[in-house]
A and B are shown apart, each in its own frame.
Chain A
Amino acid sequence: MKKLNLLILKYKKEEFNLLSLLEETVKVKGFLSFETLNYISKNLKIPLAKLYGMASFYSFLPTAKTGKYVIRVCNSPSCYLNGSQEVLEILKKFGIEVGKTTKNRKFTLELTSCIGCCDSPPAMMINNKVYKNLDKTKIWNIIKGLK
């Protein structure tokens, strides 16, 4: 809560930049819970509906508790045509499904829009690291490496 207060103070003073505030809040809190957003809304006098609308718009602002690793598979045309669906199928074999968090709270899988790797598709992000040119063995190694 202290950290959140500091953040809010910072953004009250500085030029108003809601997106970065929410981004930094995610870094501190892990995700944007009802309580967190409500707190921000009360303090900055921005309607909660607006904040939630914004948070739900961006893939990188989770509004529910996520696993330790958040996997984001690119679903934009370049990756889609080059096998992003197969990537999802391989991940499914590990029990990781789109929009869900695994039971041991280790992985969350989401689809995302372009992450700027159209030159080497298919691509995905795990937390802040980008993995390109995915194929079966690569994915196996990555996921095994995380366990």
Chain B
Amino acid sequence: MNGKRVKVKKGETILDIAKRNGINIPTLCYHPDLKPEGKCRICLVEVNGKLVTSCNTKVEEKMEIFTNTKRVLEARRLNMELILSNITYARKDFELIKLAKELGIRKIRFKKHVDNSKGRGPIEIDNHRCILCGRCVQVCQNIQGINNIDFVNRGIFTEVTTPFNIPIKDSPCTFCGQCALYCPENAVRERAFSEKLIKYVENISIVKDSKFSIVQTAPAIRASLGEMFGAEPRTLVTGKMVAALRKIGFDKVFDTDFGADLTIMEEANEFVERIKKNKNLPLLTSCCPSWIRFAEETYPFLLKNISTCKSPQQMFGAIAKTYYAKKIGVKPKDLIVVSIMPCIAKKFEAEKPEMESAGCNDVDIVLTTREIGRMIERKKINFSKFGDGEFDEPLGISSGGGAIFGATGGVTESVLRVIYEIFTDKKLKKVNFKQVRGFEGIRDTEIEMGNKNIKIAIAHGLGNIRKLIESGEWKKYHFIEMMACPGGCIGGGGQPRPTTWEIRKKRIAALYEQDKKMKIRVASHNPAIKKIYKEFLGKPLGKKSEKLLHTKYKKRKPKYF
């Protein structure tokens, strides 16, 4: 390689050995989580006088590889120019544009011929930015197994879309948003709540007089928001995030971890109830709106097993619009609840008609991590130099159990912490259930609680969920945690790009670190939770919590299919 002899193993690609030997080969459509397809042809190298793609060419004996001859560089540049001709607009911090700069491209000589199709449900595909790298198609087919999008038409008319151009909201799409997460230049993206956003958030000072705005931040945000401002993936930016949100103009900054604690309380009690009655087991978790949509459409026979609890976001919204609004003396309609989520499906969840507990939507606006990051940027807030702020009371107090909700296995662990005390009547000494942590797509374990053996399974990634259900294995467990995105919310569709398994692992580690630092580790020990049950809700699964914190599922058929 480049005149040096290098040792290789069988089955390695040229790109692999180049990386190992510190040689930089630019890549675009290649992503470590996906199967290399050799579509973009940016990673070209010269092998024995021929140009080949390094990402999917296996090494052989007597290969003579050159990675930066004049011919290679010219070919890369031409390909880049052809790719760039696809797009009309791009931000300078997207992968694509960074790469174009690296290759030294200034002018584009070609033109594109596809019409734009935009605005179709929570996810939109912008053809004026798409370069047909195919990452979204691969992720939808191979990792999530939904198969909703593919390449359509031929030649210069090729575009990525649903069959027969069905609007995405009517298709079997679950809005997991992995397609958007893998997109290298924001062609597949979340639909912005733009009109509402401008009205409420951008000019928040205007509405401030008559309205009161609060914001909730999801557990997975604090481990990833820093990445948008150049921080290492493992950095926690809780304090800075709170301070920045306050600077944007929200009246109160609260924490979805509180909602998560509430969810744990309800879900744990529901689980204990079902174990006692031995009815509707296994209990399937209900925090993930994408999984719920998937179940409602594809597996209606599972609906009776899904926990009736709302997701933390919606629980928080319901409490904010009833309990909190009353407490501060604001009409529910004038209280604007904004939530910041790592998720695109949450946008869909917030607009569901059954999510209204005070005559209006419980959550008014849902923003993704990327959106809030861009907003902070637009407001010219210097994020990295911020001091630390703290969450407001009472809806900002949370336990370690709520904090780990964002990681796969986190919901299970938090529930275990609570039910241990219910089952055994002893105080929990070892709060860490390390058995449920890990990264495998489907994992299971058994845990002894008093005289009971509880069988637990955890699945993340819709492809793995499908595997678990269709094999029939799900029947033998008591409790199954389902998360639509690989890695849990930490790898959600609204998270900063790029997201790879390496980065996901770092983010998960950050969440567990935060949990370790917390004083309260078990949700039922959270004073704010105790207080709200005492003052307002009564007891878990009581009449009031049944009305506010639980929901019903119904079989949903997509308009098409």
Contact = CB atoms under 8 A, between A and B. Distances in A.
Contact of B149 (A37, A49, A51): A49
A34 B141 CA distance: 20
Contacts of B164: 34, 52, 63
Nearest to B159: A56
Interface in A18-58: 34, 37-38, 47-53, 56-58
A119 B395 CA distance: 79
Nearest to B166: A34
Given A34-B164, A47-B141, A48-B163, A53 B560 contact: no
A21 to B, nearest CB: 17
Contacts of A51: 163
The interface size bin for chain A is: 10 to 19
Nearest to A48: B163
A49 B163 contact: yes
Most buried by A among B141, B154, B164, B561: B164
Contact of A50 (B147, B153, B560, B561): B147
Interface of A is mostly: helix
The interface size bin for chain B is: 10 to 19
B162 interface: yes
Interface string B135-157: 00000010000011111111000
A127 B163 CA distance: 26
B147 A47 contact: yes
17 contacts: A34-B164, A34-B560, A37-B163, A38-B560, A38-B561, A47-B147, A47-B150, A48-B147, A48-B561, A49-B163, A50-B147, A51-B163, A52-B163, A52-B164, A56-B153, A56-B154, A63-B164
Nearest to B147: A47
Contacts of B154: 56-58
Interface string B336-370: 00000000000000000000000000000000000
Nearest to B157: A56
B124 to A, nearest CB: 17
A63 B560 CA distance: 16
Nearest to A49: B150
Most buried by B among A47, A57, A63: A47
Nearest to B163: A52
A48 to B, nearest CB: 5
B329 to A, nearest CB: 52
Contacts of A63: 164
A32 to B, nearest CB: 10
Given A49-B141, A49-B148, A52-B163, 15 more contacts: A37-B163, A38-B560, A47-B147, A48-B561, A49-B147, A49-B150, A50-B150, A52-B150, A52-B152, A53-B150, A56-B152, A56-B153, A57-B153, A58-B154, A63-B164
